[in-house]
Structure 1
Amino acid sequence: MLSNAEHVLPTALIVDDDYVMRMLERETLAQFGFDVLEAADGEQALDMLDDPPPDLLLLDVEMPGIDGFEVCRRLRQRWDMARVPVIVVTGMDDLASINRAYESGANDFVAKPINWPILGHRARYVLRSAQAARQLSELKEKQAAIMRAIPDMIFVMDWQGTYLDYKQGYATTAFVPASELLGKNMAAILPAEVAKPIQQGIELALLRGHLQTVLYKLPMPDGSSHHYEARIAPNGVDKVVIVVRDITTQKLNEDKIRRLAYFDTLTGMPNRQSFLERLDHELARARRNHHQLALLFLDLDGFKRINDTLGHSAGDYLLQAVAERMKEKLRAGDFVARPALDESGLHVARLGGDEFTVVLPDVDETHTVSMVATRLQALLAQPFLIGTQEIVVTSSIGIALFPADGDDAATLLKHADTAMYHAKDQGRNNWQLYHQSLTTQTTARMALETDIRKGLEQGEFHLLYQPQVSAADGTIVGIEALIRWQHPQHGMVSPAQFIPVAEESGQIVPMGEWVLDTACRQIMEWQLHGVLTARVAVNVSARQLRSPHFLDRVAAIISETGIRAEQLELELTESILMDPESRQVQGLCRLRALGVHFAIDDFGTGYSSLSYIKRFPIGMLKIDQSFVRGLPNSANDTGIATAIIAMAHNLGLEVIAEGVETRQQFEFLQQAKCTKLQGYLFSRPLPPDEVEILLRRGSITPPSDHTAK
């Protein structure tokens, strides 16, 4: 039944074969606020008892066919007395008939002749009683469900600590069986070191009227210990309710969390947080004792290549092997890191990725530091066996000294990191001590990052375009868009200088999007000038491709500029092919389905294989200019170039050679069946208006005997 707040009248079903009785009952119940339905016999009544059933049933006993007792019995097979209350109306007032009515499931009975005003009041009373019984039943079910869902034990105790009642929790079991608890004092059940604080909690809860919490530990029969939390709440003036939860798992998890906070899960080494805390401790000790301290920052050379080539699982195994070798082979006195929980064993900190740190306290002279650095490099240079494959890695190490290179952990770490990058720049597989000039170089690099960002914001970059021609007849078959930077103070900045910085800083992503958008708009501008535009190639970096919105932006730029997707070619580096995400491959395939072309730039300089190429929708291979430069005199370059061209033809791919500068290179590539060429022999990179002139001409004839400078 809907609530009274919704102004819906309760429904009463009158079942009687006497029309006059039904009419009188209907009028009476209507006056008492019922919406009345009628049935002339038992069969009709049962047909009308569909969901939802009426709120009340007035049921005559003596009817032809199915009598009232049988209707009531069948009704009770579906609904109980609280859901559908029944008042039996009968002319039989003997005790047996009354008992039979109740046995059939009636809530009440009314004897004929009927006192009509009393009938209405009785109907309201029976309805309210049924509603109250139903609410009470629902409340009990909720309480039972709540109790079943509570993991805690619940005790009722008096002020002296005597157990009065107990409810078992699904996840917590009493220290002793319930039969041994009730009526006994906890001092006789629990160890004294547990009973005493609980008794104090009981007294405080009753005295102050506030919840008290007690934590304690109990020994288990199997020899283990369980941890518990008891929450004590006053219940009247002399009793308390104690809710007890087993928090053993929570305690264990807290220990795990503490370990996770200070130890690297992959290698078991102290992590960055652990390392920094220990370094702070060692620096404080060095200040007190006026000692020198050295910090070594180590990075594995070429780790990314191994990770990309052999997979992340192999990379993880290599890091574990490196950590194990460092822990086993370095002397404890050579370095300091946060001790393990058991205060034993050798420890080296892993900051993350393939970066490790070593702290050397009480260093007397630089020679000691150089010995440790050299020893570290020698240890790591020994081959590692990953599966059946032997791997050799080298390391670059940067070293910063306290107090000469910094007085705090952050400064020392920054300077050691700077020295490590200097070791990388010096050819890797070496160690370098920090000196002030390195910070100057780092500052210059940071300034370049800032200038790149400002240059993008202020429009200092522009595009030049270099034609690509058919080797057969010089027809312009494509154009490559090349970014250039006119710095307001430093003039023209080489892409070789700013592209790597943009790549490392992440600014290659907005820069690449600007190049793509600008090139596509230039295509449309040429078309508006009535110039037939060849396919335009735009370089895409690995970091740019990993950007989550890159593929969507390519499609959006094509749509916004109005060019045909077939007019755009994206040049990917070989590194993109090494360990691609399936999402990236699928995204590139969707762009190819739109019409976008893809090429592999600088092919042959990376680690590509046919299996990688086949996963991508690649249409062209671009022979790197380093192989073109030695043509036709270098046997190595001629062999590589010829092999790439043959492979491309066998795979059904186009092939283009870049960096063609001499007639001899052109003729060799033409004879080797390289179909497309690009280089200074045909044209330097040009601004859009000059390229437009070439596009109108349609082809470029190389000089008969010329070497481009």
Structure 2
Amino acid sequence: MSLQRHQEPLLFAQHGAAERRFLALISALPKVSVQGYDKHRNVIYWNKSSESIYGYSESEAMGRKLEDLIIPNYMRDEVIMLHTRWVEFGEPIPSDELVLKKKGGQPIHVFSSHVMLKQGTNSPEMYCVDIDLTEQHEIRQELERMASTDLLTNLPNRRALEQCLTSVIEDARSSNSGFGLFFIDLDMFKEVNDTLGHTWGDELLKSVAKRLSGCIDNINGVLARFGGDEFVYLANDVTCEIKCEEIAKTLSNCFKESFALSTENVHITSSIGISLYPRDGDVIDDLLKHADAAMYQAKAEGRNRYHFFTSTLSHRLREQRRIAANLRESLRNDEFELLFQPQIDVKTGKFASCEALLRWCPKDKTKAVTPDVFIPIAERGELIGDLGDWVLKKACQQAQAWKEKGIAIRIDINVSGKELEKSSYFDSLTAYRAEYALSPEDIGLELTENVLIKSDSTILDGLKAQRDLGVEISIDDFGTGYSSLSYLKHFPVTHLKIDRSFLDGAPENDFDSALMEAIVNVGHKLNLKIVVEGVETESQSDYCKSLNVEFVQGYLFSRPISADAIETLYVEQSK
């Protein structure tokens, strides 16, 4: 901004060559507020940008004190003290991000730097150079919101719930009070996904979240989406089972009416598990684990009901131990298989890679459960290392077999945090590549954002070393965990797999599209290749093309299929 014409000769005449160069410089800065103050902090200079940022015209500001214009009341004494110490003792005021105030009293975020001219004279002048951070502050707030919000339902996510529980437990402990924790799981939700598709499954989740929020609106508590089709409700100041039963019935009644999805009305119920603080635990993990166990007990008793945590739920723990024992037996007998879901290059329409998906196939089929059941049990029982090693070895064997047939498809495997915690994981990866004559580009790694956030420097360094060798590393299901865009620059990854919840509605809805485009653009700015999951319609596929997404994956192109089926499709594409 330029100096006011009537001020310029006077100001320039009063200062030496260095001061004149400084004033010429700051007057030319665009969108930067510059104010000058005498030794009593009275305004002697107020540029056009200051008018825009703080709302005071030059005539309103001139001669008034700094602390009476833009300094909040709680900062007044400190500002006066800092300015006095600079004038009297030569102690500069450090640059910093500050929250000042506008003419109307509204807060404004700025980055403020300070320069003292004519220091050591009887008329020192302090110039403040303030950069408006309003836009950056809003972006930061949005990133923080995204980090703590489930973007499908707009409810608090698991991270936010656990932060809330930490605070509530501290308050309850100090006030000798209690609260109830309700673990809500949708019954038969998988069937809805399988019959109607994930798009309508997600629509159902949004409808459930809206209805649950409405029915508990007058109860003091917090509703969060825990993950998948699971919700958790924290009811404050609840200390007895009678009150918990009333709340549980209210939650259950939300499912009496059907949910309208497209042309169908879907009837669904819920199973609810309840734990009480401090009766059923006094730490987050125990309270969630016990409410979760109670929920599974409600399912075991026929679904569409609630159940309190009791000592009899040790049966569930025994069941988990039984599954774990069967997993060990199946590992000895090699009773697993890998299916593969292709990832398609958007530009060419051909296979670029495929994701390996583990399936349990015991000879006694009554022992089998789905991956979403046995993988968490394997992680809790430390079996995940053996399962992960099986997957890694089989994937390497398959990659070698394909290479020998001239089939160039990278295989991406999912890796859990428990596997990475073992110092030998990267050694095993290197050894298997050597054993099966594979290059680093032949086997990719997929990790969830939660795994990456919890990884220590040793793990991150190991991943970085693999990436530098040429291993493709993906963040899987981005947006469903604790992370946000601000984390991406810290992770040694090459691909960002955007969760299906961002895609749903994006082609038709401006808000959804804005979020999707923002993530894609930031990913590209960070030199990440983008993979969009859950592509089920031509409209979604075309939308991904319009964003210059590199790869897509979903039922529109292929369900998870066998290695032989992958070969057949690959050969057909090559013709």
TM-score, structure 2 normalization: 0.50
Compared CA separation, residues 428 and 256, structure 1 to 2 (3 A) = same
Specify which of 255, 276, 282 is matched with residue 380 of structure 1: 255
Specify which of 571, 594, 597 is matched with residue 564 of structure 2: 597
Specify which of 215, 224, 240 is matched with residue 349 of structure 1: 224
Cα displacement string for residues 549-592 of structure 1 (whole angstroms, at most 9, x for unaligned residues): xxxx9xx999869xxxxxxxxxxxxxx99959964579999x99
SS of equivalent residue, structure 1 residue 318: helix
SS of equivalent residue, structure 2 residue 100: strand
Alignment partner of 1:417 is 2:292: yes
Match of 2:356 in 1: none
Paired with 2:44 and 2:336, the residues of 1 have a C-alpha distance of 90
The percent identity for this pair of structures is 23
Match of 2:181 in 1: 295
Alignment partner of 1:152 is 2:22: no
Specify which of 208, 219, 229 is matched with residue 103 of structure 2: 219
Paired with 2:199 and 2:555, the residues of 1 have a C-alpha distance of 23
Compared CA separation, residues 484 and 391, structure 1 to 2 (3 A) = closer
- After TM superposition, list the pairs within 5 Å mapping 1:552-701 onto structure 2: 583-584=552-553, 597-598=564-565, 617=569
Q: Aligned-pair distance for 1:173?
A: 4.4
What is the identity, as a one-letter code, of the residue corresponding to 1:399? I
What is the identity, as a one-letter code, of the residue corresponding to 2:101? K
Asked whether the 8 Å contact 2:101–2:108 carries over to 1, the reply is yes
Q: Aligned-pair distance for 1:152?
A: 2.4
Specify which of 84, 87, 91 is matched with residue 206 of structure 1: 87
Q: Aligned-pair distance for 1:296?
A: 1.6
What is the identity, as a one-letter code, of the residue corresponding to 2:86? A
Q: Aligned-pair distance for 1:322?
A: 1.5
What is the identity, as a one-letter code, of the residue corresponding to 2:88? L
Match of 1:114 in 2: none
Asked whether the 8 Å contact 2:298–2:305 carries over to 1, the reply is yes
Cα displacement string for residues 368-406 of structure 1 (whole angstroms, at most 9, x for unaligned residues): 534543442232142011233212222121122344422
Specify which of 357, 380, 390 is matched with residue 511 of structure 1: 390
What is the identity, as a one-letter code, of the residue corresponding to 2:282? D
Cα displacement string for residues 609-640 of structure 1 (whole angstroms, at most 9, x for unaligned residues): xxxxxxx9499xxxxxxxxxxxxxxxxxxxxx
Compared CA separation, residues 320 and 161, structure 1 to 2 (3 A) = same
Compared CA separation, residues 178 and 317, structure 1 to 2 (3 A) = same
Asked whether the 8 Å contact 2:110–2:132 carries over to 1, the reply is yes
Compared CA separation, residues 598 and 357, structure 1 to 2 (3 A) = same
- After TM superposition, list the pairs within 5 Å mapping 1:3-152 onto structure 2: 151-152=31-32
- After TM superposition, list the pairs within 5 Å mapping 1:161-180 onto structure 2: 161-165=41-45, 173=53, 175-178=55-58
Asked whether the 8 Å contact 2:165–2:284 carries over to 1, the reply is yes
Paired with 1:331 and 1:151, the residues of 2 have a C-alpha distance of 44
Match of 1:395 in 2: 270
Compared CA separation, residues 495 and 512, structure 1 to 2 (3 A) = farther
SS of equivalent residue, structure 1 residue 429: coil
Paired with 1:192 and 1:545, the residues of 2 have a C-alpha distance of 55
Asked whether the 8 Å contact 1:172–1:246 carries over to 2, the reply is no
Asked whether the 8 Å contact 1:483–1:495 carries over to 2, the reply is no
What is the identity, as a one-letter code, of the residue corresponding to 2:317? T
Compared CA separation, residues 511 and 225, structure 1 to 2 (3 A) = closer
Cα displacement string for residues 195-234 of structure 1 (whole angstroms, at most 9, x for unaligned residues): 96655543222223233267531225xx966455543333
Paired with 2:54 and 2:87, the residues of 1 have a C-alpha distance of 24
What is the identity, as a one-letter code, of the residue corresponding to 2:90? G
Q: Which has the higher contact order (CA 8 A, sep 6+)?
A: 2
Cα displacement string for residues 82-103 of structure 1 (whole angstroms, at most 9, x for unaligned residues): xxxxxxxxxxxxxxxxxxxxxx
Paired with 2:173 and 2:68, the residues of 1 have a C-alpha distance of 56
Match of 1:233 in 2: 115
Asked whether the 8 Å contact 1:296–1:357 carries over to 2, the reply is yes
SS of equivalent residue, structure 2 residue 41: coil
Query: Number of matched residues?
Result: 385
Asked whether the 8 Å contact 1:205–1:232 carries over to 2, the reply is no
- Rg larger in structure: 1
Paired with 1:178 and 1:310, the residues of 2 have a C-alpha distance of 64
What is the identity, as a one-letter code, of the residue corresponding to 1:208? F
SS of equivalent residue, structure 2 residue 320: helix
Paired with 1:427 and 1:314, the residues of 2 have a C-alpha distance of 25
SS of equivalent residue, structure 2 residue 317: helix
Compared CA separation, residues 189 and 171, structure 1 to 2 (3 A) = closer
Compared CA separation, residues 547 and 617, structure 1 to 2 (3 A) = farther
Q: Aligned-pair distance for 1:169?
A: 5.1
Q: Aligned-pair distance for 1:166?
A: 5.5
Q: Aligned-pair distance for 1:306?
A: 3.3
Asked whether the 8 Å contact 1:517–1:557 carries over to 2, the reply is no
SS of equivalent residue, structure 1 residue 325: helix
Asked whether the 8 Å contact 1:461–1:484 carries over to 2, the reply is no
Match of 2:221 in 1: 337
Alignment partner of 1:461 is 2:333: yes
Paired with 2:321 and 2:25, the residues of 1 have a C-alpha distance of 63
Match of 2:526 in 1: none
Compared CA separation, residues 454 and 243, structure 1 to 2 (3 A) = farther
Compared CA separation, residues 415 and 157, structure 1 to 2 (3 A) = same
Paired with 2:108 and 2:171, the residues of 1 have a C-alpha distance of 40
Paired with 1:261 and 1:366, the residues of 2 have a C-alpha distance of 34
Compared CA separation, residues 254 and 217, structure 1 to 2 (3 A) = farther
SS of equivalent residue, structure 1 residue 160: coil
Q: Aligned-pair distance for 1:318?
A: 2.4
Paired with 1:291 and 1:157, the residues of 2 have a C-alpha distance of 54
Compared CA separation, residues 188 and 413, structure 1 to 2 (3 A) = closer
Match of 2:3 in 1: none
